Chains A and B, each alone.
Chain A
Amino acid sequence: MSGDPLVSVRNLEKYYPVDTGLFSRTESYVKAVDGVSFDIMPGETFAVVGESGCGKTTLGKTVARLYEATGGTIAFEGQDITDLDGKALRQLRRDIQVVYQDPSSSLNPRRRIGAIVKEPLAVHDVGTKAERDERVAELLRRVDLPVEFRHRYPNALSGGQKQRVAIARALAVEPKFVVLDEPTSALDVSVQAKVISLLDDLQDELDLTYLLISHDLSLVKNVADRIGVMYLGNLMEVTDSRTLFENPVNPYTEQLLSAIPVVESGEQSLKPPSVEVRGETPDPKDPPSGCPFHPRCHRAFDACDAVDPELVEVEDGHQTRCLHDPGPKAEAVAEHRSDDVTQEGVTED
């Protein structure tokens, strides 16, 4: 990787207060995003994958400044945008757009497609009325929808068509960075591939940078340049997509990969030796001590419930968050091992 990142996120936190009772003074939080850091280079697709409830959508929307961050910083083109507000924030929206998960609810049912796609142009006062109309037509054509659709209401369109409208809307003001929040998960499988390939074409054509939020590893594999695997508000492993699938180092990634359903037996060879996916995601209100993944981990050892690992670089551009690669936490891990010499650590591979 070279050059300056387009988006740079450092120790991003998004906590939600939890009601702990009527008279309780102590506040408790769900840490939906708990200290996440990553960079996104211009023109690349950075995907964040994880199970539902791991905080990936919250992460995406916080980066897009739809939610207020509890802590940490977000930089866009080198400028700190974490605390922008008012007019400056609205200006920033031109550069950062979002495509939402469910197009049925992200399009106002009482407005025509034309008005929906035109809205960003009207908000940012781009061009004359005629130019805006022309731009709407151009955008609809670009997402492979008939221009005549501009007179229709969203409920007259199929899910895939609606998502195309949402994409057209996001692209109307020529953003540099688009957060794709599970853009295909509400669509039929047959339509998913088309929407994805459209997004792919648009990226090449318009020099877009994507943050793709998804739970679908097989989808991510084909489109993402780099992938971050998220678990309970933390990034567990970050690397380029090829390495992630061929040479994952984090036990959670291993479990996720082994959970991809395989139809043809030939595909089996692509995956690491099968490991069982164990247990359920813990209650985010009451996360485990130490490494958040240790209760479900097939490679957990004695230090895991005491020491919280950090994301460390194991090789160039490949980061993992696991005590098997302890980094600066090595000392703490060693301490816990010497505490209890009788217990053998799990064999490392």
Chain B
Amino acid sequence: MSNSETVTADDPGVLERRREDLNRVVYRFKQNPMSILGLCIIFGFVFIAIFAPYIAPYPNDAGYQNQPAVHFDQKFESPSAEHLFGTDQAGRDIFSRVLFGTRLSLRIGVVVLAAAVSIGVPVGLVAGYLGGGVGMALMRITDVFLSVPPLVLALAVSVALEPNLTNVMLAIAAVWWPWYARLTYGEVLSVKEETYVEASRGIGATSTRTIFREILPNVLAPITVKMSLDMGYAILVAASLGFLGLGAQPPTPEWGTMVSQGRDYMPAQWWYSTFPGLAIFLIVLGFNFLGDGLRDMFDVEVQ
């Protein structure tokens, strides 16, 4: 190489390079102990969700394998070694039910966000990239959704459909996607002014290719951060709907529904509402810590 500007190649190979990239990410993530804590909490819940049938002492109390069990002779037992979180009005083990509730909550979070992202992000991408009349129309529709308080809209959708777990997820996704459309739209507006977007057009790429190859990778970071922050909120909203009787219906071991049912027996049977409530608290906290950590790591602004 005749060129002094050309640095000597020290190519460590693709794999090693990828590992370096990963190490850097891990290092930055580690800088924030709260995000590690958040990650641990989330991993804990995921572990519980996967292995609930093996951890839970009385899986049938949570309706496992469609064999719901009731033990009216054991109702309202306070927490003990046998029933860690006590039992409810039907003598079911609350500990087992909370463990199984993890499956529901995580599923709600994942499904809701997947749906919200798969509607909102394309809307934002198209509106931002095309701009003009199409972009304006799409964003005005988005604004209409944003103008209604999310919980109220979710309530309405859930009532209109018939309250059950599937419809709850549908209802929450319906109020959630506009936030992703907004966020994506704003990011696209700034990214599309970059020369590499013009260059992509100059190469002869189609709009679709430009959007997915050049723009999308550059707007993913804030979307990812928002997703991890929102996961907790989505679970919280689902629990709120359950609490209001518009979400999962008893005897589904959904946390919000359980808190709501336990409310009738407060304060004497305090454990009924408290432990599902604590689970909600913990999982929301975990996702928030994780999201904050990711935000610092990617160094992005998310409202």
Contact = CB atoms under 8 A, between A and B. Distances in A.
A146 B3 CA distance: 11
A106 B203 contact: no
Contacts, number: 89
A119 B202 contact: no
Interface stretch (B57-65, B93-101, B204-212, B260-268): B204-212
A161 B5 CA distance: 8
Interface in A106-120: 106-111, 119-120
Nearest to B2: A144
Contacts of A94: 204
A169 B234 CA distance: 44
B191 to A, nearest CB: 10
B28 interface: no
B201 interface: yes
B198 interface: yes
Interface in A15-52: none
Interface in A140-168: 144-149, 151-152, 158, 160-161, 166
Given A90-B206, A93-B204, A120-B204, A161 B199 contact: no
A119 B218 contact: no
Interface residues of B, number: 28
A101 B7 CA distance: 22
Interface stretch (B9-17, B32-40, B69-77, B165-173): B9-17
B129 to A, nearest CB: 15
Contacts of B195: 100-102, 105-106
Given A106-B195, A108-B217, A194 B203 contact: no
A143 B8 CA distance: 15
A154 to B, nearest CB: 9
A106 B6 contact: no
Q: How large is the interface on A (under 10, 10 to 19, 20 to 34, 35 or more residues)?
A: 35 or more
Given A108-B196, A108-B217, A124 B9 contact: no
Nearest to B3: A144
Which residue among B6, B195, B200, B202 has the maximum number of chain A CB atoms within 10 Å of its CB? B202
Contacts of B213: 108, 111, 119
A119 B201 contact: no
Contacts of A151: 11, 14, 17
Contacts of B299: none
Nearest to A105: B195
B188 to A, nearest CB: 14
Contacts of B203: 93, 97, 119-120, 123, 169, 173
A173 B204 CA distance: 11
Given A105-B195, A108-B213, 17 more contacts: A66-B198, A90-B205, A97-B202, A105-B196, A106-B198, A107-B196, A107-B199, A109-B218, A120-B203, A120-B204, A123-B209, A144-B2, A146-B9, A148-B9, A148-B11, A161-B6, A194-B3
Interface of A: 64, 66, 89-94, 97-98, 100-102, 105-111, 119-120, 123-124, 144-149, 151-152, 158, 160-161, 166, 169, 173, 190-191, 194
17 contacts: A64-B202, A66-B202, A89-B204, A102-B195, A105-B194, A105-B195, A111-B213, A119-B200, A119-B203, A123-B203, A123-B205, A123-B209, A144-B6, A146-B1, A146-B9, A147-B9, A152-B17
